[in-house]
Every structure is written in C-alpha cells, then in structure tokens.
Amino acid sequence: MNPSTTILLEEWMRLAQQESAAIAASEWLELNDLLNQKDRIKLLLEDYADDDFSESDQQLVGNIISVTQQNQIQLQTEIDSVSAQIQQNNKSLTTMRQVNQTYGETDQSSFWHSYS
C-alpha cells in the first residue's frame, strides 16, 4: 500500500467529476485542460507497481472507470447534438444558396431584376 497512489487516484476522481460538469456546461477548453491534467496523473501512476495499490485504491479505480464511462456517454450525446445542429445549419445554408441563386440573378435582361 502506498498513500501516494491514493492521493493521485483521488485527484483523478475529482478531475473526472469536474469533467462531468464541464461537459454539461459545454466548456470544451476546460474539458481539454482536465483531460491533460488526468494524463499527467496517469504518467505518475505508471511509476507504481500493482502491489502498491491498496484494495481501497482498486475500489477507487472502479469508481473512476464508472464516472469515465458516464462522461463518455454524456460527451457522445453532446457530440450527436452538435452534429445534428451542424447538419441542420448545412441544410439551411444550402437552401439559402439556392434562394440566392434564384433571386440573385444579375442578368440585365431579366424582367424581375429591375424590381429587386
């Protein structure tokens, strides 16, 4: 057992919980920062052997995995929502371009051009 592993895992859990809040608030820069912090913790944890992790550490790892899976689901939902919005915006843009092509004719011989 190594108290350093517990401290690192508790920090990882805190960051994972903050990720949930960042995803819910669509704070993507903050989420990226949190992920970078977790990567640094992961590198530190790689220095420890398996027997350095206590049973409570292993339970904490299980909780971290659970929160991470929930975050992945939450993030995928946000990605799907943004993708749907992008598709809708693209459809609207295409329609607007078609309308512009119809009404944006600059042919001087067009009867309607003089009224636009």
Q: Which amino acid is at 35?
A: L
State which amino acid sits at residue 60: L
What whole-number distance in Å separates Cα of residue 114 and Cα of residue 103? 11
Tell how far CA 27 is from the center of its chain: 8
Work out the average pLDDT over 33-57: 94
pLDDT at 110: 55
Q: What is the model's pLDDT at position 7?
A: 96
Supply the pTM of this predicted model: 0.74
